Amino acid sequence: MLKIYGADLSTPANKVRMMVNALDIPYEYVRVSIRDQENRTPEFLQMNPNGKIPVLDDNGFILFESGAICRYLADKQNSSLYPKDLKQRALVDQWTDFAVIHINGAMNRVVFNRIFAKRIGRKIDEQSLRDGLAFLEKFLPVVDDRLEGRDFLAEDGLTLADISLISILDPCEVAEVDLSAYKNIVAWRNRLRQEPFYKKCHDEYGEPLKKFMTKKT
């Protein structure tokens, strides 16, 4: 059985979980406590020398980096989530890369400074926060325009591009990122968050965050 090493607040780990859910593959989810530095143990570092999550163990085949994991699993299942057709795959790659490079980078700045900085005793970087919000203001309209009259980001059905973006935008509410100006993103997101691949991960990102915030440091 597949093993996925991750943490409930890790959007890359959640992306892999959503992908596996969409592929309907049984798996064991192994929670790794970053707080307790379980990602720095010799055993974990042997799987991923970067000490980061997620990590996939497919019966002894170890793979890290969420994008590589998702592509590997979709190819293994011969799934349309990552199509074989060259041009279709290129479009999925294009929008997946756009989401990861532009939206995820900006969200990370906002999420860290608005949610986690104080919790781990770090000073809020106001410039980084402003930059993150500015980048979102620049790049979210591109996604909103793409979704005009469309149900999915890259193709006519669900793909890795949608799963990547839905996981990246997962912390919006708790990070106070207002999406109301982007009606197409809101409609797309609301629809996908009702799908089994999402619900099997969690009902919303705020659930595991509440548990994290109530734990003693």
Whole-number pLDDT of residue 217: 41
Residue range 86-213 in CATH 3.30.565.10: no
Q: What is the pLDDT of residue 35?
A: 86
How many residues can be counted in the chain?
217
The verdict on pTM exceeding 0.85 is yes
Chain centroid to CA 103: how far?
11
> What is the residue extent of each domain of the chain?
2-76, 86-213
**Token duo for residue 56:** 């996939």
Both structure tokens of 176: 């106070």
**CB-based burial of residue 126 (10 Å sphere; 0-12 exposed, 13-18 middle, 19+ buried)?**
exposed
State residue 41's pLDDT score. Answer: 96
> Strand 27-31 vs strand 55-58: parallel, antiparallel, or unpaired?
unpaired
- Of 67, 65, 54, whose CA–CA distance to 27 is shortest? 54
Check: CATH 3.40.30.10 for 2-76? Answer: yes
Give backbone dihedrals phi and psi of 68, rounded to 5 degrees, phi first: -65, -40
Residue 151 and residue 132 in contact, taking contact as beta carbons nearer than 8 Å: no
Q: Who's near 194: CB < 8 A, 6+ residues apart?
A: none
**What strands lie across the sheet with 27-31, from one edge to the other?**
27-31, 2-6, 55-58, 61-64
- Rounded average pLDDT per 10-residue block, the chain, 217 residues: 95 97 97 93 96 97 98 97 97 98 97 89 94 98 98 96 98 95 98 97 83 60
Burial 182-201 (b: 16+ CB within 10 A, else e): bebbeebbeebbeeebbeeb
What's the pLDDT at 178?
97
Q: In whole angstroms, give the CA distance from residue 102 to residue 168.
A: 11
Residue 6: the pLDDT is 97
Residue recorded with tokens 């193709």:
155
Q: What are the residues whose beta carbons fall under 8 Å from the beta carbon of 81, sequence distance 6 or more?
A: 19, 22, 23, 74, 158, 159, 160, 163
